[in-house]
Amino acid sequence: MMKKNKVKECPCGRIITDPKNKTGLCPRCQKKANAAGAGVGILAFGVGVKKYGGKILEGAIDIARKIK
């Protein structure tokens, strides 16, 4: 039984020749995807801080007062 050589192709059309590439993206597209993911993560962190920042700060102050 012959093993099929599956040709991986990036969404931009570039053919992926590295057999260890698990993402299926070329280096350029992978860099773009990482940058987009980081942007979304920073945005989510900002929204979380805006929504829950006051409660976290109050809790930290209470803990600091109890320690003293």
- What is the DSSP secondary-structure string of 16-50? E--TT--S---HHHHHHHHHHHHHHHHHHHHHHHH
Domains of the chain, residue spans: 28-67
Q: pLDDT by residue (tens digit) across 6-56?
A: 778 888 889 988 888 888 889 999 999 999 999 999 999 999 999 999 998
User: What pTM, to 2 d.p., does this model score?
Assistant: 0.58
